[in-house]
Amino acid sequence: MVALMSTPIFKGAFMRSMAMLMAPLLALAMPASAQNGGKVEVDLELVLAVDISYSMDPDEQALQREGYMEALTSKEAIAAIRSGVHGRIAVTYVEWAGANQQSVIAKWQIIDGQQSAETFTAKLAESPPRRAYRTSISSALLFSAGLFEDSGATGARRVIDISGDGVNNQGPLITNVRDELVAKGIIINGLPVMIKPPNTFSLDVPNLDDYYRDCVIGGQGAFILPATSREVFKEAIRNKLILEVADLAPPPRFIRVQSPSKVSCSVGESMWGNRYGRYGDGN
């Protein structure tokens, strides 16, 4: 028996058996990043995609950015982040307008407390405001979805939080893009900005919340939370962020939907096409 144990064949089999037994224990001992190809495990990978089209006036844009900065550093948001299984999330901030107008203002960062949240929002404060033409929600969603590959994290959920004050009027059809991303497991939540009365010149729709509900958002637990006045704009942003981090559905009182009937998801494309004789021109 002793002679058998000393043979190369026995030794090889013994080492393989020990390796199989030790593998689960070693995996538990390794950092999460080592177990996931160098990626950090987080509770949420979140893209904040913010509309900067000309239909958003400078005051609204400033209010919007301040709202996200205050929301991310609020004690409520930090508490929600820390309460997760991993106690951290990965976030990036994107500004968008037309089909070819998307910019990453703050690259992916792990937020696990007050200090990291303030480091992230400092990048937003340093970036000068800008505006651009047209509104391509679909292109913004595609751009945002592509960012997940470089997040440096692996999250239990992948969410795109998109805010805007108009319908899709350039780029791919919004419903096609939504369905494509949802099929990949990405959740799309919406913050329709409904502060100003609809402008007939820019072909605004009066029921933007209906449009976001029926045409933009999608995925397990997706929701909209409209910003209906300047006074509640920042509050809406904060509430929406906390709900996303905590993976909770918003209370019914937060959801303002004009009617239960379906809206036309091609309203933006068709309106701009009828006015200009071709698809995709608009503010």
Question: What CATH code is carried by the domain that includes residue 113?
Answer: 3.40.50.410
- Rounded mean pLDDT of 53-57? 84
pLDDT score at 7: 54
Neighbouring residues of 146: CB distance < 8 A, sequence distance ≥ 6: none
Write the pLDDT tens digit of every residue in 171-224. 999 999 999 999 999 999 999 999 877 665 555 677 899 999 999 999 999 999
Q: Are 225 and 250 in contact (CB under 8 A)?
A: yes
Neighbours of 248 (CB within 10 A): 12
- Total number of domains in the chain: 1
What is the extent of the structural domain holding 135? 36-276
Q: What is the mean pLDDT of residues 54-78?
A: 91
Residue 255 forms part of a structural domain: yes
Does the pLDDT at position 283 exceed 80? no
Partners of 188 in the β-ladder: 160, 218
State the Cα–Cα distance between residues 38 and 18, nearest whole angstrom: 25
- For residue 236, what are its two tokens? 């809406």
Q: Give the contacts of 113 (CB within 8 A, at least 6 positions apart).
A: 78, 81, 82
pLDDT at position 37 is: 62
- For 255, counting Cβ atoms within 10 Å of its Cβ (0-12 exposed, 13-18 middle, 19+ buried), the class is middle
Residue 41: inside a domain? yes
Q: Please report how the helices 114-126 and 75-82 are oriented relative to each other, as an axis angle in degrees rounded to 10.
A: 130
Angle of CA points 46, 238, 234, to nearest 5° = 125
Q: Is residue 237 part of a domain?
A: yes
Per-residue model confidence (pLDDT) at position 42: 98
CB 221 within 8 A of CB 215: no
pLDDT at 43 over 90: yes
Given this model, what pLDDT does residue 122 score? 97
Q: Does residue 77 lie within any of the structural domains?
A: yes
Q: How confident is the model at residue 271, as a pLDDT? A: 55
Over range 151-173, report the average pLDDT.
95
SS3 call for 247: coil
Asked if the structure places residue 46 within a domain, the reply is yes
The pLDDT value recorded for residue 257 is: 58
Residue 224: predicted pLDDT = 93
pLDDT on residue 38: 79
pLDDT band, very low/low/confident/very high, at 282 (cuts 50, 70, 90): very low
CA-to-CA dists, residue 207 to 60, 187, 193, 253, angstroms: 19, 22, 11, 17
144: confidence class by pLDDT, cuts 50, 70, 90: very high
Is there a domain that residue 282 lies in? no
Record the pTM: 0.82
Phi, psi values for residue 109, rounded to 5°: -145, 145
Does the pLDDT at position 243 exceed 70?
yes
Kindly report the average pLDDT of the chain as a whole number: 82
